[in-house]
Structure 1
Amino acid sequence: MNKSPTILATRDATDSHLRRVEEVDLEFSNGERRTYQRLKSGGHGAVFIVALRDEHTVLLVREYGVGLERYELGVPKGRLDRDETVEQGADRELKEEVGFGARKLTVLGALSLSPSYMTHMAHVVLAEDLYPERLQGDEPEELDVVPWRLDDLHGLIARDDVTEGRSIAALFMAREYLAGRYRPA
């Protein structure tokens, strides 16, 4: 596993794609009016990929999260590029982060981070029938790929380095889909 990077400096970002705020004037059915603020998405959405190595095993990645200043274990993920479908983005990110492509991609649904003040949505994609193929990604270092059994999700969420809620939700969605207990709308 890689050693954590050294933080050289921090400062407020005055112009960032992460900090686009808009005000929304609302009137509720009871006549109450409020002005809310929300963060606007700066991109085209994102994908969270549940990559099945075999029918029992998913491939996770260990990646540095600057927000928590530590390495986190979760599903491969990334932003969609302009004019890229959800499936194309998932396949590209899988090749960049894990070194595999997928012959079968199934969109399981979408997850929000905080619907009270963010417009950003992330699509959950199940990737099956994997084959080796690597694309150059934008990560500053190679990611550790960690196989994990789907029947041990309770053990995964008990770990200190697994806290990204959308990764956890994506894994549970995939497990329930594969067991026939969930079908995408």
Structure 2
Amino acid sequence: MSEGKSKLISSQPLLASEAVWTKLVKKTYKDPNGVTRTWESAERTTRPKNSDIDGVGIVAILEEETGPKIVLQKQYRPPLDKIVIELPAGLIDEGETAEQAAVRELKEETGYVAEVLETSPIMFNDPGFCNTNLRMVHVTVDMSLPANQDLKPELEDNEFIEVFLVKLADLWDECIKLEAEGYAIDARIANLAEGIEIAKKFKL
């Protein structure tokens, strides 16, 4: 896998003048007792003006005879200096809906052509640290379509993504196995896998 050759070269503080898509901010607020406090956080600077979200995560399900499978990705992430197991995802473009962005990003990153099923409420990735948010868009992939028989991803020159499939019923066990192999697990996948396990346990 090409991104397996990626490695961190250096790490140093980022000057505000050098930041391209993030900024650090200090929030001042009053707590329930009326005490004035401050909070350090990060914010994206790339959210389109008319959008209420930064991006989308995509739950893409392939219906197969052996059971439904979910589309996952392996991608090197410099903040962790690890290859991360992720759902397809991406930022919203100006004028796009979450659903349009999801269909576009899935096609670009994986080659799959999908149909939207439903969209989640707005979710916040790490609200104690940043204001970044997204909607999860659930899509289905019709494997009978010619486009889904001959996948043609449209990756940018700085994207190195390996796409793979996992049986939805085995997602939790696969996360455990991949972590043991040295991969980092994105929280969105882990939460989905944990939800499936809870549903099994309580027969929901």
Q: TM-score range by the shorter chain?
A: 0.7 to 0.9
Question: What SS does structure 2 have at the residue aligned with 1:88?
Answer: helix
Number of equivalences: 179
Counterpart residue number, 1:31: 34
Normalising by structure 1, we get a TM-score of 0.81
Bigger proportion of residues as helix = 2
Counterpart residue number, 1:150: 168
2:50 counterpart of 1:47: no
In the TM superposition, 1:80-159 aligns within 5 A as 80-130=92-142, 131=145, 132=148, 134=152, 136-138=154-156, 140-158=158-176, 159=178
1:12 Cα offset (Å): 3.8
Counterpart residue number, 1:169: 191
Separation in structure 2 between the aligned mates of residue 176 and residue 127 of structure 1, nearest angstrom = 22
User: Does structure 2 conserve the Cα–Cα contact (< 8 Å) formed by 1:111 and 1:166?
Assistant: no
Q: Report the identity percentage.
A: 21
Separation in structure 1 between the aligned mates of residue 123 and residue 59 of structure 2, nearest angstrom = 14
Counterpart residue number, 1:20: 23
Pick closer, same or farther for the CA change 1:139–1:73 going to 2, 3 Å: farther
Separation in structure 1 between the aligned mates of residue 196 and residue 102 of structure 2, nearest angstrom = 15
Separation in structure 2 between the aligned mates of residue 171 and residue 127 of structure 1, nearest angstrom = 17
Question: What SS does structure 2 have at the residue aligned with 1:29?
Answer: coil
Separation in structure 1 between the aligned mates of residue 194 and residue 113 of structure 2, nearest angstrom = 22
Pick closer, same or farther for the CA change 1:53–1:150 going to 2, 3 Å: same
Counterpart residue number, 1:74: 86
The one-letter code of the counterpart of 2:81 is E
User: Does structure 1 conserve the Cα–Cα contact (< 8 Å) formed by 2:40 and 2:129?
Assistant: yes
User: Does structure 1 conserve the Cα–Cα contact (< 8 Å) formed by 2:21 and 2:46?
Assistant: no
In the TM superposition, 1:4-19 aligns within 5 A as 4-7=5-8, 10-14=11-15, 15-19=18-22
More deviation, 17-26/113-122: 17-26
Separation in structure 1 between the aligned mates of residue 31 and residue 108 of structure 2, nearest angstrom = 45
The one-letter code of the counterpart of 1:148 is V
Question: What SS does structure 2 have at the residue aligned with 1:40?
Answer: strand
Separation in structure 2 between the aligned mates of residue 122 and residue 174 of structure 1, nearest angstrom = 21
Pick closer, same or farther for the CA change 1:83–1:72 going to 2, 3 Å: same
User: Does structure 1 conserve the Cα–Cα contact (< 8 Å) formed by 2:110 and 2:153?
Assistant: no
More deviation, 139-148/29-38: 139-148
* Structure 2 gap segments, 5+ residues each: 48-53
Separation in structure 1 between the aligned mates of residue 128 and residue 7 of structure 2, nearest angstrom = 34
RMSD between aligned residues: 2.8
